[in-house]
């Protein structure tokens, strides 16, 4: 009888633990220490978190939205970011015509706002508002809700990143712009010329350093926020996304994969720093627009 009681109590403890909200550090075995890639896959209009090391395409998915067994989204995804709000992990996804905030642990759709058909990227602000950049429309949109938003003209709007320490929003378009965010309003603080051409595309912070990865049609650069200087990292053209691995290396979506789809799609990520690294992670069957390492981004959240 005593043994049965112990077993019963153990089962209760395990059940209670299972019913608690999953912590991102252990969710589904996908911690931020797990090498995984979050991508906006246009092959079937899903946001996918994938294991880049598996050789089995069917086993590559660690998480997806919509889930693999659900119908795909009717909206085409362009970007996906791991974001944090009040200690909870979410995936913020930009689509042509939409921006969505999805809770990671249970894939619950938390926010679903309309945006322009050229929505390229999005960022979560500390008060829960969302900023989107819309390239063909040349517009930065600040979403407070589905019906409450403010548009600011910004030519070639392509990238957006929140700076937690400086409490400002970096926005990439024909220039690199810095906006202050106070009382639910954005105000332009400063802007910087881009090297070579006014064709900014991707904007993403390094994991901990005060630097931004900035791509345009011509190359990839780092922008040092403290010195306000650009430094070239790669001369590859048309880089759509860039991020930093936990080991410090810089990876980009391979822009030279026309055989898998249109010129803006890829199925591979490759390192550009340090130079000379002969590596590639290919996600079989994918046609992603942007792909980034699954990671804590202390710069922003």
243 backbone dihedrals φ, ψ, rounded to 5° = -160, 170
3-state secondary structure of 52: coil
Q: Specify the DSSP element, H or E, that contains 10.
A: helix 2-19
pLDDT at res. 127: 97
Each residue of 80-131: pLDDT tens digit? Answer: 999 999 999 999 999 999 999 999 999 999 999 999 999 999 999 999 999 9
Each residue of 118-157: pLDDT tens digit? Answer: 999 999 999 999 999 999 999 999 999 999 999 999 999 9
Each residue of 40-57: pLDDT tens digit? Answer: 999 999 999 999 888 676
Q: Specify the DSSP element, H or E, that contains 40.
A: strand 37-41
pLDDT at res. 55: 67
For residue 301, what is the DSSP state? Answer: -
Give Cβ neighbours of residue 152 (< 8 Å, ≥ 6 apart): 139, 140, 141, 142, 186
> Residue 9: pLDDT above 90?
no
Fold adopted by 37-73+152-293 = Hemopexin (2.110.10)
User: Any idea where the domains of the chain sit in the sequence?
Assistant: 37-73+152-293
pLDDT at res. 3: 44
């Amino acid at each position: 009888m005593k043994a049965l009681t112990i077993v019963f109590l153990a089962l209760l403890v395990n059940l209670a633990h299972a019913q608690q909200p999953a912590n991102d550090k252990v969710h589904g075995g996908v911690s931020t220490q797990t090498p995984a890639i979050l991508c906006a896959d246009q092959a079937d209009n899903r946001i996918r978190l994938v294991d880049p090391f598996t050789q089995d395409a069917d086993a590559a998915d660690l998480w997806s939205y919509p889930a693999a067994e659900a119908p795909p989204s009717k909206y085409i995804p362009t970007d996906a970011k791991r974001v944090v709000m009040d200690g909870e992990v979410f995936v913020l996804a930009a689509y042509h015509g939409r921006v969505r905030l999805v809770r990671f642990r249970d894939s619950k759709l938390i926010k679903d706002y309309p945006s322009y058909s050229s929505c390229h990227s999005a960022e979560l602000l500390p008060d829960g508002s969302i900023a989107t950049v819309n390239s063909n429309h040349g517009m930065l949109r600040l979403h407070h809700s589905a019906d409450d938003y403010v548009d600011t003209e910004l030519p070639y709007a392509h990238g957006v990143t929140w700076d937690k320490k400086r409490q400002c929003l970096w926005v990439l378009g024909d220039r690199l712009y810095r906006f202050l965010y106070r009382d639910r309003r954005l105000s332009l603080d400063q802007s910087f010329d881009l090297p070579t051409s006014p064709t900014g595309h991707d904007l993403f912070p390094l994991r901990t350093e005060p630097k931004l990865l900035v791509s345009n049609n011509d190359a990839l650069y780092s922008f040092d926020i403290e010195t306000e200087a650009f430094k070239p990292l790669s001369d590859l053209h048309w880089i759509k996304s860039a991020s930093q691995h936990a080991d410090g290396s810089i990876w980009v979506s391979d822009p030279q994969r026309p055989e898998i789809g249109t010129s803006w799609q890829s199925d591979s990520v490759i390192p550009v720093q340090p130079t000379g690294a002969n590596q590639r992670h290919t996600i079989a069957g994918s046609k992603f627009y942007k792909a980034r390492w699954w990671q804590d981004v202390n710069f922003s959240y």
